[in-house]
């Protein structure tokens, strides 16, 4: 193996992977950054391995997997149980198996828009101070106007570099980073201890805060694009933001002294103006309802320690997390 070439490993946790996932996998195997067995002398980087950590083997379609991979030994699947899965821990285990210069994390529903995703995502990592990059997320065809604008607000068309000096201006957005599609210099990732384990949510932002506080830079690569969006119900908005509040309460030393809620208020105001400008003012009640459920969920999550176990489970999107907490407390 030529050590002068930059190597990339991709880590993808999956659960109930559908046809979109196998399509995603096919696109990753046909990028401008070629797999190791297809690279040539002129290539400066290559895709070394794709590690798939699939929760519950019975939900994995091995026939579709083999059809996409066509015998490639660049893709490795490991099956785990629901009890073994952890947002940070599973990804850390994948990173421990990697021998590449760069480790890239994706979710199973982040569809590469084109064949330059890996190339454009890892490009900023060639700069000395950059430790992390994350991709732009574009709305899918089913996304409504509010979701489309939210994606544009959080993932604009201009790339940015964020460091410690930006905290005063950007507040919590300094730490904003998404494991939906991101890449890390493996050496720095390991040196800083990787993701926190036994976290309900937000392991990517928690690690990004550590990156920033240690003097490194987080890069947003707007030319690295994945199609990824969701249409959440009001209840799902509540439960998702409850878990967000829980994570920020558990890691309050990171989040308490940084501007947070003002970002949410700015998004609501700008979305409302956008809807009026588009002549879609009839969507404003939906925006108010969505924002209200997000806010209530977030506030409840910040106060989760005062709630009963039964209420916590009802409010949380990630109920299996609380099973692990109980089991750990029982031990």
Q: What is the CATH number of the domain that holds 212?
A: 3.90.550.10
Residue 331 has pLDDT above 60, yes or no: no
Considering the domain architecture, whether residues 130 and 210 belong to the same structural domain is answered as yes
Residue where a domain stops, chosen among 207, 227, 247: 227
pLDDT, tens digit, 9 for 90 and up, residues 47-75: 999 999 999 999 999 999 999 998 788 99
pLDDT, tens digit, 9 for 90 and up, residues 199-216: 788 899 999 999 999 999
Considering the domain architecture, whether residues 15 and 60 belong to the same structural domain is answered as yes
Report the b/e string of 111-133 with b at 16+ CB within 10 A: bbbeebbbbbbbbbbeeeebbbb
Q: Where are the alpha helices (DSSP H) in 177-283?
A: 186-191, 203-213, 234-250, 252-255, 261-277
Provide the CA 281 distance to its chain's centre, in angstroms.
31
- Arithmetic mean of pLDDT, 178-191: 96
Considering the domain architecture, whether residues 240 and 205 belong to the same structural domain is answered as no
- Does residue 265 lie within any of the structural domains? yes
- Does residue 274 lie within any of the structural domains? yes
Residue 41 has pLDDT above 90, yes or no: no
Considering the domain architecture, whether residues 67 and 174 belong to the same structural domain is answered as yes
- Least confident stretch, 12-21, 37-46, 120-129, 147-156: 37-46
Placement of tokens 């947002």 in the chain: 87
Considering the domain architecture, whether residues 220 and 266 belong to the same structural domain is answered as no
Considering the domain architecture, whether residues 185 and 320 belong to the same structural domain is answered as no
- Determine the structural domain holding residue 53 and report its residue range: 9-227
Q: What is the pLDDT of residue 3?
A: 53
pLDDT, tens digit, 9 for 90 and up, residues 122-166: 999 999 999 999 999 999 988 999 999 999 999 999 999 999 999
- Does residue 3 lie within any of the structural domains? no
Q: What is the pLDDT of residue 49?
A: 95
Residue where a domain stops, chosen among 182, 209, 227: 227
**pLDDT > 90: percent of the chain:** 77
- Does residue 74 lie within any of the structural domains? yes
Considering the domain architecture, whether residues 192 and 47 belong to the same structural domain is answered as yes
Tell me if 143 sits within 8 A of 197, measured CB to CB: no
| Average pLDDT of the chain to the nearest whole number | 92
Considering the domain architecture, whether residues 222 and 245 belong to the same structural domain is answered as no
Tell me if 271 sits within 8 A of 146, measured CB to CB: yes
Considering the domain architecture, whether residues 250 and 196 belong to the same structural domain is answered as no
- Least confident stretch, 33-47, 127-141, 173-187: 33-47
Considering the domain architecture, whether residues 88 and 196 belong to the same structural domain is answered as yes
**pLDDT > 70: percent of the chain:** 96
- Does residue 4 lie within any of the structural domains? no
- Does residue 2 lie within any of the structural domains? no
Provide the CA 64 distance to its chain's centre, in angstroms.
25
Please give the tally of structural domains in the chain: 2
Tokens of 25: 């996998």
- Does residue 1 lie within any of the structural domains? no
Residue where a domain stops, chosen among 206, 227, 248: 227
Considering the domain architecture, whether residues 140 and 202 belong to the same structural domain is answered as yes
Considering the domain architecture, whether residues 215 and 241 belong to the same structural domain is answered as no
Q: What is the pLDDT of residue 328?
A: 60
């Amino acid at each position: 193996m030529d050590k002068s070439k930059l190597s990339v490993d991709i880590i993808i946790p999956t659960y109930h992977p559908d046809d979109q996932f196998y399509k995603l996998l096919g696109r990753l195997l046909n990028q401008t950054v070629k797999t190791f067995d297809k690279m040539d002398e002129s290539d400066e980087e290559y895709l070394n391995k794709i590690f798939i950590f699939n929760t519950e083997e019975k939900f994995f379609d091995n026939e579709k997997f083999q059809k996409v991979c066509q015998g490639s030994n660049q893709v490795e699947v490991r099956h785990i149980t629901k009890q073994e899965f952890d947002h940070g821990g599973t990804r850390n285990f994948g990173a421990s198996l990697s021998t590449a210069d760069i480790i890239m994390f994706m979710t199973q529903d982040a569809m590469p828009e084109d064949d330059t995703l890996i190339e454009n995502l890892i490009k900023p990592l060639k700069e000395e101070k950059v430790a992390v990059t994350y991709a732009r997320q574009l709305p899918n065809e089913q996304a409504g106007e509010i979701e489309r604008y939210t994606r544009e607000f959080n993932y604009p068309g201009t790339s940015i570099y964020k460091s410690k000096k930006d905290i005063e201006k950007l507040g919590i957005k300094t730490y904003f980073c998404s494991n939906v599609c991101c890449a890390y210099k493996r050496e720095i990732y390991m040196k800083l201890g990787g993701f926190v384990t036994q976290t309900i949510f937000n392991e990517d932002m928690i690690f990004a805060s550590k990156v920033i506080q240690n003097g490194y830079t987080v890069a947003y690569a707007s030319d690295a694009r994945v199609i990824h969006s969701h249409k959440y119900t009001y209840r799902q908005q509540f439960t998702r933001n409850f878990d967000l509040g829980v994570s920020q309460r558990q890691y309050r030393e990171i989040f308490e002294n940084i501007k947070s809620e003002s970002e949410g208020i700015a998004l609501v105001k700008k979305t409302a103006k956008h809807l009026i400008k588009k002549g879609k003012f009839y969507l404003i009640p939906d925006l108010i309802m969505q924002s209200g459920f997000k806010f209530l969920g977030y506030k409840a999550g910040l106060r989760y320690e005062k709630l009963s176990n039964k209420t916590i489970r009802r409010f949380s999107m990630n109920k299996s997390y609380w099973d692990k907490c109980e089991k750990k407390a029982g031990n």
